Structure formats: C-alpha cells, structure tokens
C-alpha cells in the first residue's frame, strides 16, 4: 500500500477475467426479450459467438433480437414451445440460454427436461431459477438426475470491481468480522401490464438476488436473517419494492442491505446497475465498491481500482464463458444450480422474517452438502 500522499489508481481492464470459448460453440436462447436483446446477445457477440437458435412466442421480441444480432448469420427461429422442445435434442446446441420471465422458469424447464430427457443440452438459466428455493431445488435435482448440467446466470460476479473486492477480502485486507453496508437506491416505476408488475415477491427475487448472491460469494453461508419487506404504493407494482435486510454470516461478517426502488430524490441514488455501493469495514481497513470503482483505505494509504466496462452488457459474458469452460473441462460450474438454491433459501428467510417480525436462523449446511 503506498503512502497517503502516493494515492495509486489502477485500471482493472488489463487483466482478462474470463477465457474465450471455442469458436463455433452453438448457443440457443429461449426467451429473446429485453435482457436477451440488451445484454445476452451483445455479450455472446463480444465472446465471438452468434446465437444459432432463438425461441420466443412474441414476433416483436424475435425482431428486436435479430436487430441486436446486426449482420451476424441468421439463427433458426421457433415460436411454438412444443415444437421447440421436440426439436431441441437435434439442434446440436452446446448450451441453451434461458431468459424467460422468471415465473415461467419452473414449468418451462420441467417440460423441457421431460420431453428431452438426457438429450437436453446444458442449461444456463437467468436468475432467479424459480420463485422459491424448493422449486429451484426440484429443478436442480431433476437436471442432475438426467446428467444435464444446469447453471444460473449471476453476472454481478463478473463486474471487475466486485471481483477485485472479493479477491482483496479473501486475502484478509479488511480483517476478520467485517461490517458490510450495501445500498441499492433509485426509482423503479412500472408502466403497463408487464409480468414484474404482478409479481408478489419482486424486490428480493428479482433484485436483491444479485446482491445476496454477491454477499454469499464473498462471505459464505448466511446464519441468520432479519428483514422488513414492503410495498411503497403509486409505482405500478402489486408486490414489494423496498427491503431492509440484515444478514449475519457464519464467517463472522454482518451485512445491512437496503433495496429501495421508491426514492424520488436522484441526488441520493446508488442505483443498479451503474452505482449500487458496497462499504466493507474491519480492523484492517475499509473497502468501497461500485460497479465502476473500488477504493481501499487503510491506516497507511489509499488505492483505487477502476473499470471502463459496464455491468450491462459486459459482465454478462462472464457466466457464459465460465459455464462453457466448466463444460469443456468436465467440472462443476461455479454457478451450478444447486449452489444458487442456497441464495434462494436466504431470500425465503427474508420473506419469513418480514412476515413474522422475527429473525430467522439458517442451517449453515449448504445444499451441495445435504
């Protein structure tokens, strides 16, 4: 660490954080909607891959996805779910990327696994895998029983500043029993009748899932949860849109997570995906991370790490590359579905605590160890 006067600024963009998959890898996308067009397709193109198959029941979505592909070769397109499921084993896909509305994931994936059996290609599914941890476990176990690798697309882990923060924490830079404050504050007003507007468990299952995943990834299993989850009215959603969540980790860390989608004053925003803020303090120093900057301050100096990349779409290439690498190397993916079930158990405890007003203790045993 340099002296206080020698404040060093380093770019994180010189060191690659994922490897490029083999050219010619065949990707299919089921659910070619907003995030597929805005982030998945650009990320595959960044990796040198062109989606070979698109499935979506809305022709508008298909057109938008084709636009996102620019002048890349045209994919084969399906608009009927049954025809797609029956054709899937013969499409020669290396991975099927699933980005349907998350309330459909369980039924869609169950049918796909029933129809295709062990001929189903490996599945990279958007978060959350299902609407509760039990349904997610059911999917993870069905896929495992058929020998179909299944992973969950948790792209926050490939935001370079968050990745570096985890590395420094693992090296002990902040020291034991850190105190973590995580703020995601902005205004998320829903217009029209989109599926998220009707989702009862919105803020934790659609939003906090990213941040709780990052905290699990950095600090390990959660031992207890206390939370308050609410709906702030007038913003076009039936479900919850704000949450205060306190997590204690078996490792000794404690985190206070604020998810606020109801803040009209943009002067105090720390808003996903550009500016949520994590502060970690401990005896060794303080670390402050946003998706674009990481600052580390100790008693002897200060160091800043920056990235010119953005979470959307750049970080999306990370899970895709990691899952493909795990398949090529014949190992379990870091994003294996069963590991995600641990995160969803924490989110279920968030809802239980908010409902009962009590803190909820969680077994430290992970799903994989059961």
Cβ-based nearer residue to ligand NAD, 21 or 33: 33
Q: Is 32 in the site for ligand NAD (CB under 6 A)?
A: yes
Q: Is 307 in the site for ligand NAD (CB under 6 A)?
A: no
Total number of residues binding ligand NAD (CB under 6 A)? 22
To the nearest whole angstrom, how small is the minimum distance from the Cβ of residue 196 to ligand NAD?
8
The span of 31-39, 85-93, 172-180, 233-241 binding ligand NAD (CB under 6 A) equals: 31-39
Q: Is 72 in the site for ligand NAD (CB under 6 A)?
A: no
The span of 101-109, 181-189, 298-306, 322-330 binding ligand NAD (CB under 6 A) equals: 101-109
Who contacts 89 (Cβ-Cβ below 8 Å, separation ≥6)? 116, 119, 120
Who contacts 1 (Cβ-Cβ below 8 Å, separation ≥6)? 296, 298, 300, 301, 302, 303
- Contact track, ligand NAD, 136-155, x by CB under 6 A: -----------------x-x
The Cα angle at residue 227 between residues 237 and 280, in degrees rounded to 5: 110
The Cα angle at residue 293 between residues 289 and 299, in degrees rounded to 5: 65
Q: Is 104 in the site for ligand NAD (CB under 6 A)?
A: yes
To the nearest whole angstrom, how small is the minimum distance from the Cβ of residue 291 to ligand NAD?
11
Q: Is 122 in the site for ligand NAD (CB under 6 A)?
A: no
Spacing of C-alpha 113 from chain mean position = 23
Tell me if 267 sits within 8 A of 137, measured CB to CB.
no
Q: Is 360 in the site for ligand NAD (CB under 6 A)?
A: no
Residue that is written with structure tokens 């002990």 in the block: 172
To the nearest whole angstrom, how small is the minimum distance from the Cβ of residue 319 to ligand NAD?
9
Q: Is 57 in the site for ligand NAD (CB under 6 A)?
A: yes
To the nearest whole angstrom, how small is the minimum distance from the Cβ of residue 31 to ligand NAD?
4
Cα gap 361→70, rounded to integer Å: 50
To the nearest whole angstrom, how small is the minimum distance from the Cβ of residue 123 to ligand NAD?
13
Find the residue with minimal CB distance to ligand NAD: 33
Cβ-based nearer residue to ligand NAD, 36 or 180: 36
Cα gap 125→115, rounded to integer Å: 18
Cβ-based nearer residue to ligand NAD, 276 or 367: 276
Cα gap 306→299, rounded to integer Å: 21
Q: Is 63 in the site for ligand NAD (CB under 6 A)?
A: no
* Selected binder of ligand NAD within 9, 24, 58, 176 (CB under 6 A): 58
To the nearest whole angstrom, how small is the minimum distance from the Cβ of residue 29 to ligand NAD?
10
Q: Is 33 in the site for ligand NAD (CB under 6 A)?
A: yes
The span of 29-37, 116-124, 262-270, 326-334 binding ligand NAD (CB under 6 A) equals: 29-37
Q: Is 343 in the site for ligand NAD (CB under 6 A)?
A: no
Write out the binding residues for ligand NAD, residues 181-200 only, by CB under 6 A.
195
The site for ligand NAD (CB under 6 A) is made up of 31-36, 56-58, 61, 81, 99-102, 104, 126-127, 153, 155, 195, 206
């Amino acid at each position: 660490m340099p002296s206080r006067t020698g404040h060093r600024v380093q770019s994180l963009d010189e060191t690659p954080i994922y490897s490029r998959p083999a050219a010619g890898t065949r990707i299919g996308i089921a659910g070619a909607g907003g995030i597929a067009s805005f982030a998945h397709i650009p990320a595959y193109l960044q990796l040198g891959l062109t989606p070979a198959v698109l499935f979506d029941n809305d022709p508008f979505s298909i057109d938008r996805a084709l636009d996102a592909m620019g002048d890349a070769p045209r994919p084969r397109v399906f608009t009927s779910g049954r025809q797609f499921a029956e054709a899937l084993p013969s499409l020669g896909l290396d991975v099927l990327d699933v980005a349907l509305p998350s309330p459909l994931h369980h039924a869609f994936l169950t049918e796909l696994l029933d129809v295709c059996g062990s001929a189903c290609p490996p599945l990279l599914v958007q978060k959350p895998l299902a609407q509760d941890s039990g349904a997610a476990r059911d999917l993870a176990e069905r896929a495992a029983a058929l020998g179909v690798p299944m992973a969950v697309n948790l792209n926050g882990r490939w935001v370079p500043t968050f990745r570096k923060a985890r590395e420094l924490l693992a090296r002990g830079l902040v020291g034991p029993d850190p105190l973590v404050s995580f703020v995601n504050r902005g205004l998320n007003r829903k217009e029209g009748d989109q599926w998220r507007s009707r989702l009862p468990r919105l803020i934790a299952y659609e939003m906090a899932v990213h941040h709780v995943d990052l905290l699990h990834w950095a600090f390990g299993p959660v031992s207890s949860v206390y939370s308050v989850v609410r709906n702030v009215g007038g913003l076009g959603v039936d479900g919850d849109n704000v949450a205060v969540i306190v997590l204690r980790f078996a490792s000794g860390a404690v985190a206070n997570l604020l998810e606020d989608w109801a803040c009209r004053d943009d002067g105090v925003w720390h808003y996903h995906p550009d500016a949520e803020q994590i502060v970690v303090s401990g005896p060794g120093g303080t670390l402050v991370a946003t998706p674009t900057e990481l600052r580390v301050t100790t008693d002897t100096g200060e160091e800043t790490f920056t990235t010119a990349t953005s979470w959307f779409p750049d970080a999306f290439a990370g899970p895709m590359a990691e899952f493909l690498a795990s398949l090529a190397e014949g190992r379990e993916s870091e994003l294996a579905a069963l590991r995600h079930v641990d995160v969803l158990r924490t989110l279920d405890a968030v809802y239980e605590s908010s409902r009962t007003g009590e803190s909820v203790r969680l077994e430290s045993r992970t799903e994989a160890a059961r």
